[in-house]
Structure 1
Amino acid sequence: MWKAEEIGKGLLTPLLLSYNDLSSNSMVKRYFSFCAVFPKDYNMYKEELISLWMAQGYLNAEEYEEMEMTGEECFNILAARSFFQEYEKNDDDGIMSFKMHDIVHDFAQFVSSKECLWLEINGTKESVINSFGGKVCPLGLKFKGGASFPMSIHGLNRLRTLLIDDESSSNSSLDSSILPELFSKLACLRALVIRQSFLLFRLDPNLIREIPKDVRKLMHLKYLNLSELHIERLPETLCELYNLQKLDIRGCRNLRELPAGIGKLKNMRSLLNGLTCSLKYMLLKSQPTKLIFTRFFLDKLEVGGTNI
């Protein structure tokens, strides 16, 4: 690595020293290289990053809480080595979000050996995606200017993590009609994040307004983030995702109700539903009892545990 051209320029040498000093007996180096899946200057949320690590299978622990604690420890190690910056903290001085310097991001891409990839889609990126073949890799896609969705992604049938960030200012790149085939081809996904920019006009016909029934094909999915989408309901087939541990629907202001069978998701540990102001009720275990939601409902709901 010292002979690599990037290292020879001298800019990445200090980062390499700090990177090599990370514990060789841990997965911390992999946790860092995973950050290459985010675009440059991206405001990353610590909670989401740890959830992605967990879904990817990086945090080996028997209990969900143990995995969260391990992820927190690994994050603190990387933060102490100055791999992250521009922290935003909560009232308790805990880190909520952060960024990576562009040089640190370049270094993350370098050490990941293209196992983690993010692409900004302005035109076509079919050739870049095709070059990965069937290789397993976390993939991040950032759309701008209403660029068309790359169909070659369907060839990555062993993809474990997919992050989609549609920042088109008009005519969104992703709509509900694309999702059924996407779910069918990428059935090995462990983590799926779908975001659409608030800049998109609310009446844009291409906005995602529903999640298709084909979501049932993502049977290995552990983490699903649909926050701030314009969806009004979730399909009952979502309740067939028995491995799902975390569902994030925060900011889905048009969402009116959750599936009646959501109590079937015995492995789900976190249901994040802040700012779902149109959400009226949820039926649990097919019982007529209704759980009333308010605008300020708790961010975490222990569906799989004893406390609901």
Structure 2
Amino acid sequence: MGSLLHSKSSISEWENVLKSEIWELEDNDLIPALALSYNHLPSHLKRCFAYCALFPKDYEFDKNCLIQLWIAENFVQFHNHKSTEDIGEQYFDDLLSRSFFQQSNKYKTCFVMHDLLNDLPKYVCEDICFRLGVDKTKGIPKTTRYFTFATNHVEYFDGFGSIHDVERLHTFMPTDWSWHCKMSIDDLFSKFKFLRVLSVSNCSNLTKVPDSVGDLKHLRSLDLSNTHIERLPESTCSLYNLQILKLNNCPLLKELPSNLHKLTNLRRLEFIYGY
């Protein structure tokens, strides 16, 4: 609230905050002051913060990785004189200065959301974001665009259940280490034609990337880190919108496709090992 009111210079603006209907909010899980602070964010920051509904409570995220996700989802506005990454970093710093994020006590390069703030993006994105094993519903809504799961809930992870019906999923990603895919890997890659972000990092039984990966024409970020793949299929080179390809800690990886140069929008290719 202090950050919000600091940007208001007139008495009438302060009075508008005081008289806001949000103070009458009856949702017991949401603090009105936090909802009010969110409502006063610029639209581009609202989108970026709402996307953080993917993260479970106490989840520690890397600043650059989050910015990359924003870029892949097309949340970062284009600017003639600045790189997209620089603009994304400005967005992040704006949210950090407003206390929507805070630095982790464990790792200097990581950030977290306070538990109370974690409820806010989920409230905003209730119909389009689903966290498997965290959100206690009977099925996954067909309106879901963002899907994530924590591996400590692997007992709930059985072929994704009704996620087969979520045709327009934009983001699919795990939020923890080491998981086992109980459905066909080929099915996983072929079901979701509108994916922007696909992460199968740390999938313990991923040894081969299926040719169907080339059908994900909208894909902008593909993370295959910490898997046992040996190569990428040539069909990967038809992902013309791909901007980010992560192959970190893939010890069995022997070769890349010969036509990788066709990925003209690729801006980041990672081969980090041993971190």
Name 2:26's counterpart in structure 1.
Answer: 5
Residue 236 in structure 1 maps to residue 234 in structure 2: yes
Name 1:257's counterpart in structure 2.
Answer: 255
Could you tell me which of 38, 45, 66 is aligned with 2:83? Answer: 66
SS in 1 for 2:148: strand
Is the contact made by 1:115 and 1:138 (CA closer than 8 Å) also made in structure 2?
yes
SS in 1 for 2:109: strand
TM-score w.r.t. structure 2 length? 0.80
Residue 156 in structure 1 maps to residue 166 in structure 2: yes
70 and 102 in structure 1: CA distance in 2 versus 1, 3 angstrom threshold: same
Is the contact made by 1:191 and 1:221 (CA closer than 8 Å) also made in structure 2?
yes
Is the contact made by 1:166 and 1:195 (CA closer than 8 Å) also made in structure 2?
no
Residue 142 in structure 1 maps to residue 142 in structure 2: no
Could you tell me which of 178, 201, 207 is aligned with 1:195? Answer: 201
Name 1:266's counterpart in structure 2.
Answer: 264
Is the contact made by 2:129 and 2:146 (CA closer than 8 Å) also made in structure 1?
yes
Is the contact made by 2:197 and 2:220 (CA closer than 8 Å) also made in structure 1?
yes
Name 2:18's counterpart in structure 1.
Answer: none
Match runs of 1:117-132 below 5 Å: 117-120=130-133, 127-129=138-140, 132=141
Match runs of 1:1-308 below 5 Å: 1-6=22-27, 12-23=31-42, 26-61=43-78, 66-87=83-104, 96-120=109-133, 127-129=138-140, 132-133=141-142, 135-143=143-151, 144-146=153-155, 147-165=157-175, 167=177, 172-174=179-181, 178-196=184-202, 207-275=205-273
Gaps of 5+ in 1: 198-205, 277-295, 297-308
Gaps of 5+ in 2: 1-21
CA distance in 2, matches of 1:121, 1:167: 16
150 and 210 in structure 1: CA distance in 2 versus 1, 3 angstrom threshold: same
CA distance in 2, matches of 1:64, 1:252: 36
How far is the alpha carbon of 1:156 from its aligned partner? 1.1
How far is the alpha carbon of 1:174 from its aligned partner? 0.7
Coordinate RMSD, CA, aligned: 2.9
- Relative to its length, the structure with more helix (as a share) is 2
The number of residues matched between the two structures is 252
Kindly provide the amino acid, as one letter, of the partner of residue 148 in structure 2.
G
TM-score w.r.t. structure 1 length? 0.72
CA distance in 1, matches of 2:205, 2:134: 18
Is the contact made by 2:44 and 2:75 (CA closer than 8 Å) also made in structure 1?
yes
How far is the alpha carbon of 1:275 from its aligned partner? 0.9
CA distance in 2, matches of 1:65, 1:274: 26
Q: Quick check: 255-264 or 112-121, which moved more?
A: 112-121
Kindly provide the amino acid, as one letter, of the partner of residue 142 in structure 1.
A
Is the contact made by 2:130 and 2:144 (CA closer than 8 Å) also made in structure 1?
no
Is the contact made by 1:251 and 1:273 (CA closer than 8 Å) also made in structure 2?
yes
Name 2:17's counterpart in structure 1.
Answer: none
Is the contact made by 2:199 and 2:222 (CA closer than 8 Å) also made in structure 1?
yes
Is the contact made by 2:189 and 2:210 (CA closer than 8 Å) also made in structure 1?
no
SS in 2 for 1:118: strand
CA distance in 2, matches of 1:182, 1:217: 12
